[in-house]
Amino acid sequence: MNIDSHQHFWKYEPVKHSWIDDEMAVIRKDFMPSDLKEVYQENNIDGCVAVQADQTLAETDFLLDLATKNDFIKGIVGWVDFRADNIDEVLKHYSQFDKVKGFRHVVQGEADHNFLLRPDFLNGIAKLEQYNFTYDILVFPHQLGSVLEFVKKFPNIKFVIDHIAKPYIKYGFYEGWALLMKEIATYPNVYCKLSGMITEADYKTWTYEQLIPYMELILSAFGADRILYGSDWPVCLVAGNYKKVRKITTDFIANLPIADRKAIMGLNAVKFYNL
């Protein structure tokens, strides 16, 4: 089973989606399940996990509604305010829906490098365990120090790092990112998505060869049983297309044993998100 562990849907609104800048103008439009279903049929993908792109409960409800109406959306990663006083009540509400698998906060957009370690945020994250929810970690490399401290605190919660922590591939920065990713990977409850790489490289001039050292580090650190394939569709369209993105991963893992290839391309997502 081939599962895309990371993609988005939205009805484009200029204010809500202000992060889509002029360089990304190609994705300033609606992206809905009917668009993706066609792409999946062309690329032999059986299902997906839809991930939040807006930080509202309405976004979570929007994704849940789409997942309820489209069987190929196997699960969703929504958003909740982990700092809210009623976080327990909110999580309890979403726990009744089988397709709600976990949550994410756009930590990369927070000015505080140590946002993940704020007491009110930690208090909310601690509540995930009782509902068996997962948490997607979306950060830039300069925030990986706090990620390390963060995952240490919750050995029983399943974490996944989105987009290999967005290393600055465009500028060739590697060492600091690699050092911290290796250390974070020593925690067995932390997984990593092989996704979002071409948009961290130069949109127009990236090459497969540029990505290899980063992918090799992830494979070496996390192993084939803790890596999830993800497309980051439709964001990937600013630097390529779905076929190219899928080919990056399939080419990279082509010489691995078939069991490892199947794990990375879908079975790890099934295991991680309990699909």
Consecutive 10-residue averages of pLDDT for the chain (275 residues): 97 90 92 96 98 97 98 98 97 98 97 96 98 98 98 98 97 96 98 98 96 98 98 97 98 98 98 98
Cα 130 from Cα 163, distance rounded (Å): 27
| Nearest by Cα to 193 from 90, 266, 120 | 266
Cα 160 from Cα 136, distance rounded (Å): 5
Helices (H) then strands (E): counts for the chain: 11, 8
- Quote the number of domains for the chain: 1
- Residue 7 confidence (pLDDT): 98
- Residue 196 confidence (pLDDT): 97
We report the CATH number of the domain holding residue 226 as 3.20.20.140
- Residues spanned by the domain of 108: 3-273
- Residue 151 confidence (pLDDT): 98
- Residue 16 confidence (pLDDT): 87
202-208: which pairs have CB atoms within 8 A and are 24 or more residues apart?
A: 202/170, 203/23, 203/238, 203/239, 204/239, 206/169, 206/239, 206/240, 208/248, 208/251
